[in-house]
Each structure stands twice: as structure tokens, then as C-alpha cells.
Structure 1
Amino acid sequence: MRVAFVGKGGSGKTTLSALFSRHLARSGAPVLAIDGDINQHLAEALGGAEESAPRLGAHMPEIKTFLRGDNPRIPSPEAMVKTTPPGRGSRLLRPLGDDELHTRHVGRAGGVPLMVTGEFDESDLGVACYHSKLGAVELYLGHLLDDPGEYVVVDMTAGADAFASGLFTRFDMTFLVAEPTRKGVSVYRQYRDHAEQFGIRIAVVGNKVTGEDDLLFLKEQVGDDLLTHLVHSPWIRAAEQGRAASGPDALASLEPHNRHALTVLREAVDAEVRDWNRLHRHAVEFHLRNASAWADARTGGDLAAQVDPDYVPGPTALP
């Protein structure tokens, strides 16, 4: 199941992404965390990188070559763009599989497998946007065949920037982290309005709640979309300052209410039923949008022809 954490900058979405990933890993569930934020802090939030790996955004040509496989509708890696959907002949992936992409690009942080997109650096200034790096994540999820009980947790870009690509449609569950402030819920309204157009369900996770007034404010602002909340946490503050214990059992010291909130998040994810047809339909829709808007001109081809009308999404597509 694919899970995204979004929210206003500073809301705590990276912290929640890390806590949820560690919560899943502690239970023994297979989990892969992906840092898709322009501020690459997920490894630190997970407990520090134990084993780094090459950044996805710096290896797009190789990733495209690998995922393209023998798909006859894609004549070359250069003709492949971030929205290119899989078709017959594409190389499909299993989570943390024994393949070239996972072997090369998965490291570990805090005991959790981790992939990173890479920072926005000086060479990108004025010539690229961060979402070009996120294209690797979009392609990865588009070619991933994951089952219930397998988790991919993505720390997304802050604010409404998460809508700058079709990546937001690739998830089974989107958790919007909101502080109990007017600015905190403003991103919720933006995300809700955009998500409704595509039938994307979001659930709000209140964060840094200090009392009943904070909780009441969130309930008044987001209504039934409020799934659960985390209270102000000395444990999290200690972790952010490097004072909290590390290791697989470190979360045992997290406040009971906050540990329960993580359980609620997992129950919400596990209750979702994967709709492969919806995922593939959105992928094709955004690919055709991009082809018309810029990709045809950039590649010099008709990228609508990359859509395989006879491709059946889901586990049956795996050879």
C-alpha cells in the first residue's frame, strides 16, 4: 500500500513519515520509506543514515532504461518521461525486490529501508524544478506491484506543491498533517479541493495538539476528515535534538497516545482496498496531459502512442 504524508512546511509531515515508517518496521512489516521532499531530512528523522545509496533524481536515464524493459511502444529511454505508464514488456517491480533498481538505490536509516530523490542543488538553479527529480518516484510507483501488508511511505513536498505533478494520484492513502492553526488548515482546504476532482481520499492527522481547544479547532475546521491527532511530544522533541534512544524498540518510549495514533494510521491504510484500474487510469490521464502540454515537443514524438490499450494493471501483469 502506498502512503503519502503532505502538509504545510513545518507541520511535522517528515516527523510523521518517519514515525509511521518506524512503527511499521517495528511490527515486522515490509516497508520502504522514500524522501520526496525538497528538504531532504527523512534519513535524519528516521535516526540517521546507516547505509546511504545513490539519489534517484541523479540517475533518471538509467532508471528509465531499466523500467522500459522490452516495451515496444517506447523506442528509447530518451522517449520515456516521468508519466510514461507501464505496458506489455515494461519491467515491473516487487517492493524491495532483488533487482537492479532496489539493489542500487535502497539504503537504510534507523533500520528502515530508504530511497531518496536528492537535493535541489546549484546546478539546478534557473534550469530545472524539483519535480523533475520527483519524476523518478513517479516512475517507480507506476511500475510497482505491491500487495496489502507491504508499505511504501513517501514524505512529499510541502504545501500545494504536491499537486505540481500527477504523483499525488499514485497513493492508496494520503495523510495531511495539520497543526491547529489557521495556516495549518489552509493547506488542507487546498488539498481537499484538488483531491476531490480525482476521487482521492485524504485523512487529516492533527499534530502538536496541546489541549482540548486545539482539538476542537481542528474538528471545527476539517470535520470528519480528522482521523486522529498527536499530542505535544517531549519524546519527539528529544529525538529532534538527538537525545532520544535509537534502535528498533525506541518507539516503546513514545507517549501512549501518540503510539495509539500511529496504530490508527495503520488501521486506516489496511482498511483501504487497492483499485488498480483507478491508479492506472489516473496515470494515463496525466501522461496524456503532459504529452499535450510539453512532452511531445520535448521528445519530438507522439507520446500518446506509449499508452498500451491492452495492458491490464495489477498483479496479473507480472510475468
Structure 2
Amino acid sequence: MRVAFVGKGGSGKTTMSALFSRYVASQGAPVTAIDADINQHLALILGVEQPPEPLGAHLPELKEHLRGANPLIASADVMVKTTPPGRGSRLLRFADLPYSVPTPEGPRLMVTGPFGEDDLGVACYHSKVGAVELLLNHLVDGHGEYVVVDMTAGADSFASGLFTRFDLTFLVAEPTRQGVSVYRQYRDYAASYDVPIAVVGNKVHGPGDVDFLREHVGDDLLTWMEHSAAVRAMEQGRSFTMDDLEPANSEALAVLLKHLDAREKDWARFGAQAVDFHLRNARAWANERTGIDLATQVDPGFVYGPASLG
């Protein structure tokens, strides 16, 4: 299952991504966390001193690997972030996710990589995030396997089709007007694409904060995290394990996992949206960039999901 954490900058979505990844691992399940935020802090929170090789630095190799023997893709040079798989493409199983490192609490970590000096003023961060979109397009994950993605802050997550690559999106919202404003934006955008979302309240200090979230978020409020001294210690770099987390907050993480596990994998929707966003990007910029009609890369006979593994 793939899950994204989104929210306003400072809402705590990176911390929530880390806590959820750790919780899933503590239940004995395999989980890979991916830092797809322009501010690369997930490694720090997960206790990794040396982050893995950034995906953005290996995009040409990733494209060549995923292209495989797909006859509709002439070369890796004409693959873009939205290029969908087809018959002959090299698909990824969960265990095949590349460029990851283990973390002390169990999850593996992948990162898109930060801006470098050569990027400043000339590159868009979504060129790096595109590596994640391409990987998820080619990933065939199974039940009980988890990919957790820490997304860019705010509604900027909608700047690419990556927001449709998940089984569920958790929106982290503080009990403030600014916190719920991002929720409204995300709710309205997501509704147009049948993207399921659930709201996780964060930094909740009491019943008044819960009432505020219920008033502004309604039934989309799934659960909430209380203000946590243990989490604050973790964010300050002090020793932390999941056993240090307050019982109410541990239960909130359990609610998130149960809600995610209850979802049915919709491979048909996933495939249709992959093709739709590829065609949109082709018309908007990619045909001109590559010099070919990228609609020819779509394989109408390809079946998304486990059946594609043969």
C-alpha cells in the first residue's frame, strides 16, 4: 500500500511520516519511507546519519532500467516522469526499490535529494520528484507492503501527477485557520480525481482543539496526535523509541494503519490516471521537449497490477 503525508509547512507532516513508518515497522511489516519534500529532513528524524544516494541523481539509470524491453519506448532519453509501463517494461516489486538504506527503527529510506548549486535558479524541484512518480508508476506492491511518502508542503503537491499514485493520502492539519485552509484546497483538488484523503490532527492540546478540527474538517477527521513531549525530544535529537510515545498517540498511529489496510487496491483507477496524466504532460510540454508524440508510449493492452508480473 502507498500512502502520502501532506500538509501546510510546519504542520508536522515529516514527523508524522517518520512516526507512521516506525510504527508500521514495529508491527513487523516491511516499509520504505521516501523523502519527496524540497526540505529534506526525513533522514534526520529517522536517525540516519548518512542519507542514501538521491534518486534525482540517478534518473537516467532509473529510466534505462525501467524501460526494459518495452518496444514503445525507443530510448531512455524519451522517457519522462509520467511515462507509463507497458508490455516489456521492467516492473518493480517492493523488495526491488532502489537506492534505499536501513534506519535504526526498521523502515528503509529513499530520498529525492536536495537542491544543489547547479539547480538554483534554473531547475524546478519537481524534476527530482519525477523520479518518485516514475518509480511508483512501475511498482507492483502487494498486501502488507508499505511505501510512505513525505510530500512537498501545501497544495504544491498538485504540481505533478504524483498525488494520484497513492492508495490513501493523510493530510496533517494543526488546529488553526491556516492549518485547515490547506485541507480545503487539497479536498477540492482531490475530489476531481477520486483521490481518497483522511485528516490527521496534530499538535492537539485539548478538547477545544479537537472541536475546532471537527468544525472545519467534519467527517474527514480520522484521528489526532496530542502534543507530545516524547516527539519534541525526538525532534531535538534526543533518544526516542516507539515505546516512549504516549498511549493515546500510539493508538492514533494504529488507527491510521487500520484505515489504510481497510482500503481496496484499485489498479484500474491507478492505470487510467497514469495514462491520463501522461497524455496531459505530453500535450503541455513533453512532446515539444522530446520531439516525439509521447502518446505512442501508451500500451492499451497493458494490465496494471499483479497480473502484469506474469
Secondary structure of 1:123's match? coil
Partners of 2:156 and 2:95 in 1: CA distance = 28
**5+ residue gaps in structure 2?**
none
The aligned residue for residue 240 of structure 1 is 235
The aligned residue for residue 71 of structure 2 is 72
Q: Which of 184, 200, 207 does residue 179 from structure 2 map onto?
A: 184
CA contact (8 A) 1:6 1:175 kept: yes
Matched, 1:264 2:255: yes
CA contact (8 A) 2:92 2:138 kept: yes
Q: CA deviation at 1:181?
A: 0.2
Matched, 1:302 2:293: yes
Matched, 1:107 2:101: yes
The aligned residue for residue 153 of structure 1 is 148
Which amino acid letter does the alignment assign opposite residue 53 of structure 1?
A: P
Deviations 1:82-129 (A, max 9, x none): 0000000000011123xxx62xx0112333211000001221122211
Partners of 2:276 and 2:215 in 1: CA distance = 35
The aligned residue for residue 28 of structure 2 is 28
Matched, 1:313 2:308: no
Secondary structure of 2:139's match? coil
CA contact (8 A) 2:30 2:107 kept: no
Q: Over aligned residue pairs, what C-alpha RMSD do you find?
A: 0.9
The aligned residue for residue 6 of structure 1 is 6
Matched, 1:205 2:200: yes
CA contact (8 A) 1:176 1:205 kept: yes
Partners of 1:172 and 1:224 in 2: CA distance = 19
Q: CA deviation at 1:26?
A: 1.0
Which amino acid letter does the alignment assign opposite residue 164 of structure 1?
A: A
CA contact (8 A) 2:43 2:51 kept: no
CA contact (8 A) 1:44 1:109 kept: no
Show the 5 A alignment for 1:52-201: 52-97=51-96, 102=98, 105-110=99-104, 111-201=106-196
Query: What is the identity percentage for the equivalent residue pairs of Structure 1 and Structure 2?
Result: 66
Secondary structure of 1:175's match? strand
The aligned residue for residue 16 of structure 1 is 16
Secondary structure of 2:209's match? helix
Partners of 2:20 and 2:52 in 1: CA distance = 22
Runs of 4+, deviation exceeding 4 Å: none
Secondary structure of 1:301's match? coil
Give TM-score scaled by structure 2 length. 0.98
Give TM-score scaled by structure 1 length. 0.95
Partners of 2:286 and 2:263 in 1: CA distance = 33
The aligned residue for residue 47 of structure 2 is 47
CA contact (8 A) 1:32 1:96 kept: no
**5+ residue gaps in structure 1?**
none
Deviations 1:247-293 (A, max 9, x none): xxx10110000000000000000000000010010110000000000
In the comparison of the two structures, how many residue pairs are matched? 309
Partners of 2:249 and 2:257 in 1: CA distance = 13
CA contact (8 A) 1:52 1:108 kept: no
